[in-house]
Amino acid sequence: MDPRPVALDAFGGDNAPDAILAGAELAFRQGVPVLLVGDANRLRGKVPRGLTVVHAPEVVEMDEPASTPLRKKPGASIRRIFELVQEGQAIGAVTCGHSGAAMASALHVLGAIPGIERPPLATVVPRKDGGQLVLVDLGANVDCKPQHLAQFAVLGDAYARVVLGMTNPRVGLLANGEERGKGNTQVRAAWPELEALPLNFVGNVEPLGALRGECDVLVCDGFVGNVMLKTVEGTVEVVGRVLRDEIRRRPGAQLGAWLLQGAIRRFRQRTAYDAVGGALLLGVEGVAVVGHGRADARAVASALRYARSCAEAGLLPTLRHSVAQRLARDTMGSVR
């Protein structure tokens, strides 16, 4: 097992640095070495026993542009974590800060895997059949071209195989109808690109079908993927609220509320951000996890474990290999 730590941005997230430090301590106790990255002066006296700090004097605030760590604040913790990966000092990086700044920094510092033009964000969503749906892209790229969607497909497939252990993931193209020819201009243009790849492409898949288990990897433009992910989150909130209200009106209300609370907590633990602690920026030359801004200690610890398990599973070499093989083969016209 690689003894190197995961680099953690101590000053990213709504509850930074306290929730971040608590999450680092939790992960550390679970056996994950963590390197805290942030302003050493502000961290003095707060660092959990056993953890070390890499000094990064600047912090990117949520209202600053995504390019801030590239231009105005090159010493920002959200950038430094990726430099530690690039330098080989860390096996992966986690931030719960400004997601635009995180993506810009990761791409700038680590670079993209050759063949990948626009690295996408990926995460998993629980399905009705008990399986997991890999959603890619979640919002890193909008107005994608067909070849971008094809690149997302290759990355998502490799991720599903190496991290989730799937053998022949079914790759679907998110659309508003299953038949070929359904979809918007973008989807119709992407279909032949995806069909030409040496992947288990199952064609257009609607959100309802995908959530029921009709595919394992769902490829989409980042705008649409973001709408889908946020709609899942929002619907869980609405359902939870309505169910609470309904149960309160019935006999056995207290027991019902208790049952529901436990069940909803378990559901949340299975969903993307809580289960894996964040979204993975696929297609950069390193393991880069972008956690939820609202992350609490438990979610931070999940993100750290997740980054470590991606690195340990050999995510990066698998992605490189897949992209080189599958996208190159596609370019050369020798398909399937």
Name the site residues for its own copies (rule: CB under 8 A): 126-128, 139, 142-143, 174-176, 183-185, 187, 206-208, 210-212, 221-224, 226-228, 230-243, 246-247, 250, 252, 255-256, 259-260, 262-264, 266-267, 270
Q: How far is the CB of 130 from its own copies (least distance, A)?
A: 8
Q: How far is the CB of 27 from its own copies (least distance, A)?
A: 26
* Residue with smaller CB distance to its own copies, 120 or 286: 120
Q: Hey, which residues does 80 pair with through a beta bridge?
A: none
* Residue with smaller CB distance to its own copies, 155 or 174: 174
* Residue with smaller CB distance to its own copies, 216 or 330: 216
* Residue with smaller CB distance to its own copies, 17 or 183: 183
Q: How far is the CB of 197 from its own copies (least distance, A)?
A: 23
Q: Residue 144: what are its φ and ψ, rounded to 5°?
A: -75, 150
* Residue with smaller CB distance to its own copies, 164 or 227: 227
Distance between terminal CA atoms of the chain? 35
Q: Hey, which residues does 203 pair with through a beta bridge?
A: 172
β-pairing verdict for 132-136 and 121-126: antiparallel
Q: How far is the CB of 243 from its own copies (least distance, A)?
A: 5
∠ CA(132), CA(135), CA(139), 5° rounding? Answer: 150
E strand residue ranges, the chain: 6-9, 34-38, 52-55, 92-95, 121-126, 132-136, 170-174, 200-205, 217-219, 278-281, 288-291
- What token pair was written down for 292? 């939820």
Q: How far is the CB of 228 from its own copies (least distance, A)?
A: 5
